[in-house]
Structure 1
Amino acid sequence: MARNELKIGTALSMITIIASSFIQILYTPLYMRYLGPGDYGINSLVQSIMGYISILNLGLGNAMLRYTVRYRAEGKIEEENSLNGMFLVIYSILMSIAFIIGIYIYVNLGKFFGSRFSIEELSKTKAVFLIMSLNIILSFPMGIFSTNITSREKFLYQRGIKLITIVLNPIMGAILMINGYGLIAVTVSTVIFAILSYMFDIVYALKLGMKIKFSKFDNRILREIFTYSFFIFLNVLIDQIYWGTDRVIIGRYVGVGGIAIYSVGAIFNTLYMGFASAVSGVLFPRINRLIVEEKHDEVNDMFLKIGRLQYILLGLISSGFIIFGKDFITLWVGKEYIEAYKIALWIMIPLTVPLIQSTGVSIMQAKNMHQFRSVVYFIIAILNLVLSIIFVKKVGAIGCAIATGLSFILGQIIIMNIYYQVSVKLNMFKFWKSILKMSLPMILTMGFGYVLNMYLIEINYFIFTLKVIIYTSVYVGLLWILGLNDYEKSQIYIWKK
C-alpha cells in the first residue's frame, strides 16, 4: 500500500506541476483584464515581501522531518512527542517575531514606496499585506502538522490537497473577478484556502496519531537542529534575494506598472524551472547509492545523462520562446507587455546551465561539499542585489533581469563549473562537449523557426499554434537523427530508471 501510495503521490506531483503551469497561463490574462496591471503588480510585490518574512522558518522543516523519521524508526515515541512540542514552541516564537516584523513593514510601506505609488495603490498594498500576513504568520506553527504527515509518507493526501487547492483557488478567484469583486476579495479567498489546508492538516495529523508533549526537551538535539538547518536557511535566503528582491526594487524605483511587466517575464522562468525539476526528479534517487559505493565513473555518467535528458526539454522550451515568445506574449497579455520578452530571456538563457547541471547539487550534498556552493551563491546574490539597484535606475524593470542574468553567468556557470571540475571531480569537458554537440539540432531548428516567422507573419492563435506544432515536429525529428544516443532513445520509449 505504501509503495502504491508513493507511486500515486509521485504521479500527482507531476500532474500538479502541469496543472499549475496551465492555470497560471490561463489565470494571468484574466487578472490583467478584470483587475488591471496595477493590482497585478501590487499582488506580486506583496508576495515577494511575504517571501522575506517566511524565511524566518530558518529551514527547520527539513530538520524536523529528519529527526522525526529517526525517532520513529528507533521506536522512541516519547522523544518524538517531545520533539513535536519543542518545534511548536520554536515556531510559536518565530511566529511572534514574524508578527512584529510584519507590523514594522506595514507602518513603513508608505515611506518606502510612497514616492512611486499613488494613494490608492498604497492603500491597496497595505490591505493586501495585512491579509497575506495572516497566512504567513499562521504557517509557522501549522508547519509541524504538515511535516509530521510527510514523515509518515502520506503522499497521496498531501499531493491531493495541493492539487485541489491549485485548481479551486484560481477558479474561485476568477469567479470573484468576473463578478466585479476586486483585489482584496481575491486575496481573502486565497488566504481562506490556505487556512482550510492548515485545518485539514491538523485533523489528519492527529488522526494519524501525532501527539505533542511540552517536556524533556533535548538541548543537544536543539543545537544539532540549528546547525543542520543553517545552510538550508542560507540557500532559502539566497533564493529569496534572487527571485523576490527584484520586485521590491522595481516597486521602489519604478512603480507597480514596472512590477507587472517584470512579473509577466518572471512567470516563464518559474514554469521553466518547474519543468526542469519534473525531469530531474525521475533519476535523482540513484545518486546517493553511487556515491556511497564510490562508483565515480558512474556518477559522471549519471551527471551527463540527466543533464542531456533535461536539455532535450529545456532546449525545446528556450529555443521556442526565443523564436515565438513575442507572439505568445502579444496574444497572452497584450503588446504593452512586450518588454517581458527581453526580461524572460535575460534570465532564461543563463538559467538553463544550472538547471541542466542540477544533479551536481545532489552529488555535492552526497559528498558533503555543498557548503562552497552556498557561500558562492550568497556572494553573487548580494552582487545581484547591488547591480539590480544600479541598473534599474538606468534602464527600468529590465535592469533587474540583466543583473540576475549576469550574476547567473558569473556564479552558477563560470565559478561552479570550475568547482565541479577541480573539486567535485566531475568531467566538465566531456559534459560540455556532449551538450554542444547536442545543440546542433536546436540551432538548425531555430534557423527554420526564423524562416517560418518570415512567411507566417500574422499573429493569431491559429497561426501561433500551427507554428509551434511545426517547430516542435522539426525539433524532435532533428534531435532524433542528430542529437540523441541509444540510451536517450530508450528513455523516450519507456522512461525506465
Structure 2
Amino acid sequence: MQKSYSKNYLKIYFYQILSIVLGFASLFIVVPFLSSDKITYGIYTVCISISIFLSYADLGFLGAGMKYAAESFSRGDIDEEIEIIGFTHFVLFVFLVLLSSGFLYLSFNPQLLIKDIKAEDQIDTASNLLLILALFSPTIILQRMMQMIFGIRLQDFILQKINIIGNIIKISSVFYFFGFEKYNIVGYFLFVQVVNLSCSIFAMIKAKKIFNYNFKELFKKLRFNKVIFYKTKHLALSGLIVTISWILYYELDSFAIGKLLGAKEVAIYAIGLTILSFFRSLLGVFFSPFSARFNHFIGTDVQDGLRSFYLHVISISFPVVVLPIIAIVIFSKPFVISWVGLEYQESIQIVQLLIACNILAFISYPAGMLMVAHEKLKEMYIVSFLMPIIYWVGIYFTIDLLGLKSFALFKFFAFFISGLVYMWYSLSFLKISMFSFLKEQIVPYLPSILFLSLSLYFFNNYFVTDKDKLNLVINAGIIALVLFISFGIGILTVKTLRNYFYRTLKLLKPVKNEI
C-alpha cells in the first residue's frame, strides 16, 4: 500500500482529460455519421441500449466484491483479494451466459424490441447488431476484472491509457465505415467489439507485468466460493436491488420509446441520452479513485480521515460537475443544431432536461459510494425505490400530454429528489448543517457560476445555426473558453480548490488530510 496517492490522482486526471477530449471527439465525429439516417440510428440506439444489461449481470456482487477486495488489498491480503475477484466474476459469467442467450433469440426476432420496423434492410441491421452483441458479451468479464484489479490499487491511469488508444482507433474507423457515401453501421459495431476485446487482453498482459498478478490462480478461483458468498451476499443483495431500480429508471427509455412512440422518436431522444451517458461515463471515471480510497479508510478503520477526505471530494467535485452542466443547458441550442442539424430541434429541450439530471452529482456520486463503503442498506433501499416510482408514475400520467418530453422531465425529477436524499445522508455523516454546507462549500463558487451564466447568455445571441464541423468547433470552443475562465475564477475564490490545485500542480508532498 502506498502512503500517499496524490501522484496517482494526478496521473488519473491527466488521462481523464485525454478521455474527455476523446469523448467530445466521439460526440462530434461519430454521432453525426450515425444520426444521418434517423431510422437506422434509432434501431442502433435500441440495440446498443440492450447491451447495458451486460453491466448489471453480476447481480450486485461486483460492487460488493470491489469493496471487500479493496479492504483486503489495504491489509496486504492478496490471496483473499483473488478469491473475491474470482467468485464475483464467476457470478458475472453465469448470468452473462443467460443474457447472451436472450440476445441470440432477439437477433432472430428484432421486431420484439422495436415498433414498426418492416423493411428488410432494417430487420437485417437489427438482427446483425444483436447477434454481434451476443457473441461478444463475454468481453465484459475481462473488462470488469481489469477495472477491479487496477482500480483497487488506484492504478486506473494504466487502464485508461490502453482504453484511450482503443478509443482513438474506434473514432478513426468511422471514416472507413461511413465515408464516401457508405453507411456500414454493422461493420462499425463489429469492429468496436474487436477493439474492446483487444484492449482487455492487453490490459491483462500489463497487469501481469506491473503487479506480477497471478492470473493462473485467479482463473482457478473463478468458481463458487461459499465463504465469499456469505461475506458478500448482504451487500450484494442491496446492490442487486439498486441495480434493478437503476435498470427500471435509467435503462428502459429507448425500449419504452421504441415500443410506444417509434424509432424516429428514439433517435430524437438519443441525442440527449448520448450526452447524458457521456457525462455519466466521465463522472464515473472522475469519482472511481475516490471509491477505492473510501474502502481503504474503512479497511484500516480511520473514520476521521474518511470524513475529512469526503468533504474535500465534495468541494473539488462541485465545479467539475456543476459548471459544465450549466454551460450545456444554456448553450444547448447552438450546440445541438451545429452538431446534428435542424432536423433534431426537438432534441434541444430533451438535452437540457437530461443533462440537468446530474446537477447534484457532486454529492450523489460520493454519497452513493460512501453508503456502499459503510454498508448503509436502508438508505440505499430508500433511493432505489424512490427513483423508478417517481419516473414511471410521472410518465404514465403525462405521456399523452407531453409525449417524448415526459421521459426527460421525470428523469430529471427522479434524479433531483434522489440527490436531496444523498444530501441529507452526507450532512448527517459530516455532522454539519445545510446552512454551513451552503456557506462554506457552495457560496464561494457563486462568482464562477455568475460569470459562466452571463457570458454564455451573451454568446447565445451570436451562435451559428448550420450543421457544420467548423460551426460545431466554434460553439464547443466558446463553451470551453468560458468554462476555463470560470474554473480559473473558482481557483481564485475557493481556498480548498486553490490549495488542492497548487499541491497537485507542484507535486508537493501531501499535508494532513490531503486527498
TM-score band, normalised by shorter chain: 0.7 to 0.9
Question: Paired residue for 1:309?
Answer: 316
SS at match of 1:113: coil
1:491–1:473 distance in 2 versus 1, CA, 3 Å: same
d(CA) in 2 for partners of 1:26, 1:462: 9
State the Cα distance separating 1:120 from its structure 2 match: 3.7
**How do 1:140-159 residues align onto structure 2 when only pairs under 5 Å count?**
140=141, 147=148, 155=156, 157-159=158-160
Instruction: Indicate how the Cα distance of structure 1 residues 422 and 44 shifts in structure 2: closer, same or farther if over 3 A, else same.
Output: same
* Corresponding residue of 2:41: 40
Letter of the 1:22 partner, please give it.
F
How far does residue 261 in structure 1 lie from its aligned partner after superposition?
A: 1.8
Partner Cα separation in structure 2 for residue 290 and residue 427 of structure 1: 24
Pairwise CA distance, 1:334: 0.8
Instruction: Find the residue that maps to 2:167 and give its secondary structure.
Output: helix
Equivalent in 252, 257, 264 of residue 257 of structure 1: 264
- Structure 1: how far apart are the matches of 2:320 and 2:413? 24
State the alpha-carbon separation in 2 of the partners of residues 67 and 321 from structure 1: 38
SS in 1 for 2:236: helix
Give the match for residue 139 of structure 1. Answer: 140
**In 2: Cα distance, 1:275 partner to 1:114 partner:** 32
1:440-494 superposed Cα distances (whole Å, 9 cap, x missing partner)? 552354234434444x35544586467547744764576567xx23333333444
Per the alignment, residue 487 of structure 1 pairs with 496
SS of residue paired to 2:42: helix
| Pairing 1:435-474 to 2, within 5 Å after superposition | 435-436=442-443, 438-439=445-446, 441-443=448-450, 445-454=452-461, 456=462, 458-459=464-465, 460=471, 464=475, 467-468=478-479, 471-472=482-483
Measured after TM superposition, the shift of residue 251 of structure 1 is: 0.9
Q: Which residue of structure 2 lines up, in the alignment, with residue 364 of structure 1?
A: 371
Instruction: Report the CA distance between 1:156 and its aligned residue.
Output: 6.0
Distance 1:393 1:166, change over 3 A: farther
* Other-structure match for 1:219: 226
Alignment check: 8 A CA contact 1:30 1:174 kept: no
- Indicate the SS of the match to 1:406: helix
Per the alignment, residue 185 of structure 1 pairs with: 187
Corresponding residue number in structure 2 for 1:431? 437
Of 392, 417, 421, the residue aligned with 2:423 is: 417
Shift of 1:137: 4.1
Judging changes above 3 Å, is the alpha-carbon distance between structure 1 residues 372 and 191 closer, same or farther for their aligned structure 2 residues? same
Structure 1 residues 5 and 56: CA distance shift in structure 2, 3 A: same
The reply on whether 1:210 has 2:215 as its aligned counterpart is yes
Distance apart, 1:249 and its partner CA: 1.1
Equivalent-residue separation in structure 1 for 2:333 and 2:186 (angstroms): 32
Paired with 1:153 and 1:145, the residues of 2 have a C-alpha distance of 12
Q: CA RMSD in A?
A: 4.1
CA distance in 2, matches of 1:267, 1:440: 30
Distance 1:88 1:394, change over 3 A: same
TM-score, structure 1 normalization: 0.81
Structure 1 contact 346–401 (Cα < 8 Å) conserved:
yes
Unaligned 5+ segments in structure 1 are none
Distance 1:210 1:240 in 2: 32
Q: Residue 16 of structure 2 is aligned with which of 14, 17, 32?
A: 14
Alignment pair present for 1:321 and 2:328: yes
Q: Which residue of 1 aligns with 2:59?
A: 58
SS of the residue aligned with 2:220? Answer: coil
Give the 3 Å change call, closer, same or farther, for CA 114–76 of structure 1 in structure 2: closer
CA distance in 1, matches of 2:455, 2:228: 60
What's the CA shift string for 1:343-382, capped at 9, x where partnerless?
1221332421133453333443444325413442233224
Q: How many residues align?
A: 489
User: How far did residue 168 of structure 1 move?
Assistant: 0.9
Deviates more, 1:304-313 or 1:401-410: 304-313
Shift of 1:341: 2.3
Quote the residue 2:29 is aligned against. Answer: 27
Alignment CA distance shift 1:200-1:395 (3 Å) = same
For residues 252-291 of structure 1, the aligned pairs below 5 Å read: 252-276=259-283
Q: Tell whether the 8 Å contact from 2:64 to 2:232 is kept in structure 1 after alignment.
A: yes
Q: Percent identity?
A: 17
C-alpha spacing 1:15/1:308, structure 2 compared with 1 (3 Å): closer
Distance 1:171 1:285, change over 3 A: same
Partner-residue secondary structure (3-state), 1:247: helix
Contact 1:148–1:210 (8 Å) recurs in 2: no
Q: Match of 2:406?
A: 399
The Cα shift of 1:16 comes to: 4.9
Change (3 A) 1:411 1:312: closer
Q: CA deviation at 1:213?
A: 3.4
Q: Secondary structure at the match of 1:240?
A: helix
SS in 2 for 1:417: helix
Residue 258 of structure 1 contacts residue 396 of structure 1 at CA under 8 Å; is this kept in 2? no
CA contact (8 A) 2:314 2:363 kept: yes
Hey, what's the Cα distance between the residues in 2 that align with 1:347 and 1:182?
Answer: 29
TM-superposed deviation, 1:175 = 1.5
Q: C-alpha distance in 1, partners of 2:435/2:379?
A: 21
1:400 Cα offset (Å):
0.9
Q: Match of 2:510? A: none
Aligned counterpart for 1:387 among listed residues 381, 394, 397:
394
1:101-130: CA deviations, max 9, x gaps? Answer: 334444553244234665543332222111
Q: Which residue of 2 aligns with 1:334?
A: 341
Indicate which of 243, 247, 251 corresponds to 1:244.
251
